[in-house]
Amino acid sequence: MCGIVGYQGRNEAFSILIDALKKLEYRGYDSAGIAIWHDKSIEIIRRKGKVDDLRKAASENKIKGTMGLAHTRWATHGIPSERNAHPHKAGDVVVVHNGIIENYMEIKEQLKKQGHRFTSDTDTEVIPHLINSYIEKGEGFIDAVRLAIRGLEGSYALGIMRQKERIMIAVKKESPLIVGVVDGESVFASDAPAIIDMTNKLIFLEDNDIVVFKDGGFRIMDIDGNEINRKVHTVNWTGAMAQKGGFKHFMLKEIYEQPRAITETLIGRVREEKAEVDLDELKLPDMKDIKKIWMVACGTSYHACLIGKYIFESSLRIPVETDIASEFRYREPIMGRHDMLILVSQSGETADTIAAMKEGKKNGVYTLSICNVLGSTLSRESDGVIFTHAGPEIGVASTKAFTTQITVLFMLMLHMGRFLGVLDKKTVREKIVELKKIPHKIQSILNDAQKIEEMARRFITYKNFLYLGRGINYPSMMEGALKLKEISYIHAEAYAAGEMKHGPIALIDENLPVFVLSPHDRTYQKTCSNIEEVFARRGKVMLITDIYDHEMSGRADSILVIPSTIYELQPLLSAVPLQLLAYNIANLLGTDVDQPRNLAKSVTVE
């Protein structure tokens, strides 16, 4: 996610802002910028690259001033570049932004008709132009801001200044923004680490809060201009703790970010009333010609492909072949010109997956990547790309990237289903309704995390685990087993539940915990038979299901009940307890959860 810092006080703003911005680097970014106000003029410096590049560029200019804004950009619209970096300016108004303006295209078109000229590809740039358009109509600065934000849809945390007045304004809606309470000075930021060294008195702004900073003080108002009060929290975080938002590890923070990450992935794309999915950044080929779909990736992203196969084949009835990227090009895949190759990658830099994309291009097929990082190789070199908008994933073990990948695959299936005419509006609308409930259902699982932590305590002494699932639950269990392996270093193997009697059943005894994932879908009864087989051999079963089953309670050591949903979306819910189980076991064992031994966040070698 982008990072924002604002300062107004009696000290030189430049070094305060740069030092604060450095503490937001963990959020991941690709460019940075700063704007310093000095005696009715504003100096702006922006750089593609690191905050230190900014420091070098600006120190030569010795920028003076005691008020300013600074920003690190995590690109969502418009590739990483100096001209897309923030702050953005129109007239004498300067803005930094974290979030996504959903309706920026229509605002941009309206403003262009009024003669406004744009210099970037970002959604953000419409904001200073919109504010300035109200100022040009005679509105005061604060009123112009209030009028402008009424027209914005989407998520935004804003820092705003203008040359003519020594006033700074912050606005918060969905994207986080925190005000630091300091005597005689004003400071605000996207996240606590940026300001925790200046003060431990923090105000966590709420949606539609507007803060006006003037003469070292501030007042908070609602969108109608009514003054409001917000609680001042005194936190005892260290800087390092604050980067994780109070969570012990980035991985745990990212597990808890999933409701919001999926919401951001959906923003501006699903239209329930029209029963449409709008993937505006996508340039699809003539889909009527598509005869076969390939889905290729590595690791967790490969598990997303396996789930994607169920999602696509059940609705589109187009054959989907999946493969591990490191195997794909060596099998000389037989691809036809009516094929589509989908490549899934959080980093967009995985060497094997890039090689698979090149193999597809060599065969003349349309290549579509699903990535989380704008400007990444895969996203730039594929014929089409859909971004997951999960925000930077710092923990090496993939969590929110996985669930947002599945979310994008589900949206792509709906989009293609409507285009190909194989899904009627009623079906698509029903599926969109279920999809939009997922963030809330994940939150209900997270609210119950204590139960999962208690279960994890019972498993930390075991050296081997078996994960069983049928149908779409089988790749979900492959992902669950990978999570446990990669962060706790305990061996875990996922198996199709129906396949257990063809070999792995020989492993079953009281020393082998068997996790079974089985919501009440069409394979539930059959999976219950597998649980009986394990129970008969003294195996310890932990069952994850969506309806408590008294009969099974006599067979399973523990039963974890999660919310129900439609079959294709089950993996979005079952991923969360499996992530938390792995996390809690690893945390109890004391492994390096965020940087597990031998692992890299992006495997850029073949």
> So which residues are the catalytic ones?
2, 601
Tell me how far apart the alpha carbons of residues 54 and 72 are, in angstroms, rounded to a whole number. Answer: 10
Nearer to ligand AGP, 198 or 481 (CB): 481
Residue type, 363: N
Of 87, 98, 89, 122, which is closest to residue 108 (Cα–Cα)? 122
Report in angstroms how near the CB of residue 438 gets to ligand AGP at its nearest. Answer: 21
| Among 467, 451, 417, residue whose Cα is nearest residue 568 | 417
Structure tokens at 531: 């649980």
CB 463 within 8 A of CB 512: no
Amino acid of residue 386: I
Q: Considering the complex, what minimum distance in angstroms separates the CB of residue 348 from ligand AGP?
A: 7
Helices (H) and strands (E) in the chain, counts: 19, 26
Comparing CB distances to ligand AGP, the nearer of 1 and 298 is: 298
Structure tokens at 372: 């989380």
- Residue closer to ligand AGP by CB (options 298, 496) is 298
CB of 574 to ligand AGP, least distance (A): 16
Beta carbon nearer to ligand AGP, 1 or 94? 1
Buried b (16+ CB within 10 A) or exposed e, 363-377: bebbbbbbbbbbbbb
Q: How far is the CB of 331 from ligand AGP (least distance, A)?
A: 19
Nearer Cβ to ligand AGP (124/579): 579
Residue numbers at the binding site for ligand AGP (CB under 6 A):
298-301, 345-347, 350, 353, 396-398, 486, 602-603
The greatest distance separating any two alpha carbons of the chain, rounded to the nearest whole angstrom, comes to 81
We find the least distance from the C-beta atom of residue 227 to ligand AGP, in angstroms, to be 47
Closest contact distance (angstroms) between CB of 255 and ligand AGP is 12
Q: Which of 344, 362, 365 is nearest to 353 (CA)?
A: 344
Nearest alpha-carbon partner for 269 in 75, 78, 435, 441 = 435
| Least Å from the CB of residue 410 to ligand AGP | 18
Nearest to 402 by CA among 304, 322, 255: 304
Is beta strand 185-189 parallel, antiparallel or unpaired with respect to 41-48?
Answer: unpaired
* Nearest residue to ligand AGP, by Cβ distance, number only: 299
The smaller minimum CB distance to ligand AGP, of residues 432 and 487, is found at 487
Helix (H) or strand (E) holding 213: strand 209-214
Instruction: Give Cα 170 to chain centroid, integer Å.
Output: 24
What is the rounded distance in angstroms from the CA atom of residue 39 to the CA atom of residue 457? Answer: 61
Residue 218 or 250: the one with the smaller Cβ distance to ligand AGP is 250
